[in-house]
Structure 1
Amino acid sequence: MSFTRWSVRISDTYGTICGAGVYLGRDLVLTCAHVIGDDPGRPVNVEFLGTAAPEPITAVVTEGGWWPVGDRQEGDAAVLRLSSPAPPDATPAPLNASWSRGDTVWAYGYPGQLHTGVHASATVTGETMGTGWIQLNDRNAGGVEIQPGFSGGAVYDSEAGKVFGIVVLAYRAERMSWLLPVGLIAERLAPVREALAAAAIPRQRAVEPELDGLGTSYELPPDLRDFTGRASEIAELIEQIGENSVGPAIHSIAGMGGLGKTRLAVHLAHRLAPDYPDGQLLLDLQAHKAGAEHRPLTTEHALLALLQATLGKPQNIGDRTRLSRIWRDVLRRRRLIVVLDNAASYDQIEALLPEHPGSLVLVTSRRRLDELGVEGAVPMALEEFDEETSVRLFTAIVGEKRAATDPGAVRDIVRLCGFLPLAIRVKASLAAGRQRKYPLARIRDEMARETDRLKSLRVGDLSINAVFSTSYGHLGARERELFRRLGLHPPGGVSLEAAAALVDDPVEAEDAIDALITESLVDDGGGRLHTHDLLREFARERLAADEPGWQRHREIAGRLLDFYLAVALAAQRTLNPARPVADSPDLDHTRLPDVSGRRTALAWFQAERENLLRCAALAEEFGLTPYVWRIPRAMGHFLSLASETDVAIEAYRAGLAAARGRDERSEMGVPPDGVWGRAAADLNALLGEAYRVAGQQDAALRALSGAREFYEGAGDRVAVADMLARGGYVQHNLGDRDGAVASCERALAEFTDLGDEFGQAEAEYTLGMLWRLRGDHDRALGHLDRASALLDRIDYSLGQARCLNLTGVVHRLMGSYEGAIPILHRAEALYEAAGDIRGLAHAINNRASALGLAGRMDEAVDANERALELLRRTRSFAYPDALLVAADLRAKQGDHATAERHLCDALTYYRPAQARFGQARAHLLLSAALLAQHRAVEALTQARESLTLYEELESANGVRQASTAEADCLAALA
Structure 2
Amino acid sequence: MNFTRWSVRVGDPDGTICGAGVYLGRDLVLTCAHVVTDALRVGPADAPVGHVLVEFPGTASPGPVAAAVTEGGWWPVGARQEGDAAVLRLTAPAPAGAAPAPLSANWRRGETVWAYGYPRHRDLSAGVHASATVTGETMGTGWIQLNDRHGNGVEIQQGFSGGGVCDADGGQVFGIVVLALRAERMSWLLPVELIAERLPPVREALAAAAIPGQRAAEPELELDGLGTSYELPADIRDFTGRAREIAELTERIRENTVGPAIHSIAGMGGLGKTKLAVHLAHKLAPDYPDGQLLLDLEAHKAGAEHRPLTTEHALLALLQATLGKPQNIGDVTRLGRMWRDVLRRRRLIVVLDNAASHEQIAALLPEHPGSLILVTSRRRLDELGVEGAVPMALEEFDEETSVRLFTAVVGEARAGTDPGAVRDIVRLCGYLPLAIRVKAALAKGRQRRYPLARIRDEMARETDRLKGLRVGDLSINAVFSTSYGHLGAHERELFRRLGLHPPGSVSLEAAAALVDDAGAADDAIDALITESLVDDEGGRLRLHDLLREFARERLAADEPGWERHREVAERLLDFYLAAALAAQRTLVPARPVADSPDPEHARLPDVCDRKAALAWFRAERENLLRCAALAEEFGLTSYVWRIPRAMGHFLALASETDVAIKAYQAGLTAARGRDRRAEADLNALLGEAYRVAGRQDDALRALSAAREFYEGAGERVAAADMLSRSGYVRHNLGDRDGAVDDCERARSEFIEMADLFGAAEALYTLGMLCRLRGDHSQALVRLSAALDLFDRIDYSLGHARCLNLMGVVLRLSDDRHLEAIPILERAEELYEAAGDIRGLAHTINNRASALGIAGRIDEAVSANERALELLRRTRSFAYPDALLVAADLRSRQGDHGTAERRLREALAYYQPAQARFGQARAHLLLSAALLGQGRAEEALVQARESLTLYTELETGNGVRQAKAAEAACLAALPAAG
Tell me the TM-score normalized by structure 2: 0.91
TM superposition shift of 1:780: 1.9
CA distance in 2 between counterparts of 1:309 and 1:415 reads: 42
Q: Does 1:693 align with 2:692?
A: yes
Q: Which residue of 2 aligns with 1:798?
A: 797
Change (3 A) 1:97 1:812: closer
Q: Which residue of 1 aligns with 2:286?
A: 274
Q: How does 1:54-133 map to 2 (within 5 A)?
A: 59-67=67-75, 77-99=85-107, 103-107=111-115, 116-123=127-134
Which residue, 511, 518, 528 being the options, matches 2:540? 528
Letter in 2 for 1:623: G
The C-alpha deviation readout for 1:867-913, integer Å capped at 9, x for no partner, is 44444444443344344444444555555555555555444444443
Contact 1:765–1:784 at 8 Å: present in 2 too?
A: yes
Q: How does 1:604-619 map to 2 (within 5 A)?
A: 604-619=616-631
TM superposition shift of 1:48: 4.5
- Which is worse superposed, 645-654 or 212-221? 212-221
TM superposition shift of 1:373: 1.6
Contact 2:316–2:328 at 8 Å: present in 1 too?
A: no
CA distance in 1 between counterparts of 2:201 and 2:407 reads: 42
Change (3 A) 1:190 1:858: closer
TM superposition shift of 1:103: 4.4
- Which is worse superposed, 307-316 or 69-78? 69-78
- Which is worse superposed, 169-178 or 783-792? 169-178
Q: Which residue of 2 aligns with 1:330?
A: 342
Contact 1:652–1:686 at 8 Å: present in 2 too?
A: yes
Q: How does 1:564-713 map to 2 (within 5 A)?
A: 564-662=576-674, 676-713=675-712
CA distance in 2 between counterparts of 1:895 and 1:21 reads: 59
TM superposition shift of 1:130: 8.2
Change (3 A) 1:212 1:99: farther
TM superposition shift of 1:361: 1.7
TM superposition shift of 1:726: 0.6
Q: Does 1:552 align with 2:564?
A: yes
CA distance in 2 between counterparts of 1:415 and 1:56 reads: 43
Letter in 2 for 1:417: C
Change (3 A) 1:968 1:88: closer
SS of the equivalent of 1:79 reads strand
CA distance in 1 between counterparts of 2:863 and 2:29 reads: 57
SS of the equivalent of 1:5 reads coil
Tell me the TM-score normalized by structure 1: 0.91
TM superposition shift of 1:315: 2.4
Q: Which residue of 2 aligns with 1:537?
A: 549
CA distance in 2 between counterparts of 1:283 and 1:649 reads: 59
SS of the equivalent of 2:356 reads coil
Q: Which residue of 2 aligns with 1:667?
A: none
Change (3 A) 1:905 1:329: closer
The C-alpha deviation readout for 1:393-451, integer Å capped at 9, x for no partner, is 11111221221221111111110100000001111111111123221111111111111
Change (3 A) 1:133 1:631: same
User: What is the percent sequence identity of the aligned residues?
Assistant: 81
Contact 2:225–2:323 at 8 Å: present in 1 too?
A: no
Which residue, 180, 205, 208 being the options, matches 1:195? 205
TM superposition shift of 1:65: 2.9
Which residue, 353, 358, 361 being the options, matches 2:365? 353
Q: Which residue of 2 aligns with 1:156?
A: 166
Unaligned runs of 5+ in 2: 38-43
Change (3 A) 1:652 1:11: closer
CA distance in 1 between counterparts of 2:686 and 2:830 reads: 26
Q: Which residue of 1 aligns with 2:3?
A: 3
The C-alpha deviation readout for 1:286-306, integer Å capped at 9, x for no partner, is 100111132111111111112
Q: Which residue of 2 aligns with 1:377?
A: 389
SS of the equivalent of 1:211 reads coil
Which residue, 521, 525, 544 being the options, matches 1:513? 525
SS of the equivalent of 2:447 reads coil
CA distance in 2 between counterparts of 1:934 and 1:119 reads: 82
Letter in 2 for 1:211: L
Q: Does 1:825 align with 2:825?
A: yes
TM superposition shift of 1:484: 1.0
Q: Does 1:39 align with 2:49?
A: no
- Which is worse superposed, 180-189 or 238-247? 180-189
Contact 2:350–2:372 at 8 Å: present in 1 too?
A: yes
SS of the equivalent of 2:347 reads coil
Q: Does 1:224 align with 2:224?
A: no
Change (3 A) 1:378 1:879: closer
The C-alpha deviation readout for 1:161-188, integer Å capped at 9, x for no partner, is 3233445677899988765543454344
Q: Which residue of 1 aligns with 2:41?
A: none
Letter in 2 for 1:65: G
Q: Which residue of 2 aligns with 1:913?
A: 913
TM superposition shift of 1:354: 2.2
Change (3 A) 1:124 1:440: same
- Which is worse superposed, 809-818 or 615-624? 809-818
CA distance in 2 between counterparts of 1:725 and 1:934 reads: 46
SS of the equivalent of 2:601 reads coil
CA distance in 2 between counterparts of 1:184 and 1:931 reads: 78
Q: Does 1:312 align with 2:311?
A: no
Contact 1:40–1:60 at 8 Å: present in 2 too?
A: no
Contact 2:68–2:90 at 8 Å: present in 1 too?
A: yes
SS of the equivalent of 1:258 reads coil
The C-alpha deviation readout for 1:552-593, integer Å capped at 9, x for no partner, is 111211221121111111111111111111222212122222
Contact 1:22–1:31 at 8 Å: present in 2 too?
A: yes
SS of the equivalent of 2:233 reads coil
CA distance in 1 between counterparts of 2:732 and 2:17 reads: 85
CA distance in 1 between counterparts of 2:174 and 2:393 reads: 43
Contact 1:104–1:124 at 8 Å: present in 2 too?
A: no
Q: Does 1:717 align with 2:711?
A: no
CA distance in 2 between counterparts of 1:936 and 1:54 reads: 66
SS of the equivalent of 1:848 reads helix
Q: Which residue of 2 aligns with 1:669?
A: none
Q: How does 1:793-872 map to 2 (within 5 A)?
A: 793-815=792-814, 816-872=816-872
CA distance in 1 between counterparts of 2:420 and 2:16 reads: 60
Give aligned pairs, total: 960
TM superposition shift of 1:954: 3.8
Q: Does 1:186 align with 2:185?
A: no
- Which is worse superposed, 39-48 or 579-588? 39-48
Q: Does 1:482 align with 2:488?
A: no
CA distance in 2 between counterparts of 1:889 and 1:90 reads: 64
Q: Does 1:775 align with 2:774?
A: yes
Change (3 A) 1:767 1:62: closer
Letter in 2 for 1:842: H
Contact 2:811–2:850 at 8 Å: present in 1 too?
A: yes
CA distance in 1 between counterparts of 2:783 and 2:831 reads: 17
CA distance in 2 between counterparts of 1:868 and 1:894 reads: 20
Contact 1:951–1:959 at 8 Å: present in 2 too?
A: yes
Letter in 1 for 2:71: E
Q: Which residue of 2 aligns with 1:671?
A: none
Unaligned runs of 5+ in 1: 663-675
RMSD: 3.2
Q: Which residue of 2 aligns with 1:666?
A: none
Q: Which residue of 2 aligns with 1:248?
A: 260
SS of the equivalent of 1:589 reads coil
CA distance in 1 between counterparts of 2:944 and 2:141 reads: 98
Change (3 A) 1:30 1:680: same
- Which is worse superposed, 572-581 or 889-898? 889-898
TM superposition shift of 1:941: 5.3
Letter in 2 for 1:847: R
CA distance in 1 between counterparts of 2:897 and 2:75 reads: 67
Which residue, 492, 505, 509 being the options, matches 1:497? 509
Contact 2:300–2:483 at 8 Å: present in 1 too?
A: yes
Letter in 2 for 1:478: H
Contact 1:215–1:308 at 8 Å: present in 2 too?
A: yes
SS of the equivalent of 1:529 reads strand
TM superposition shift of 1:260: 0.5
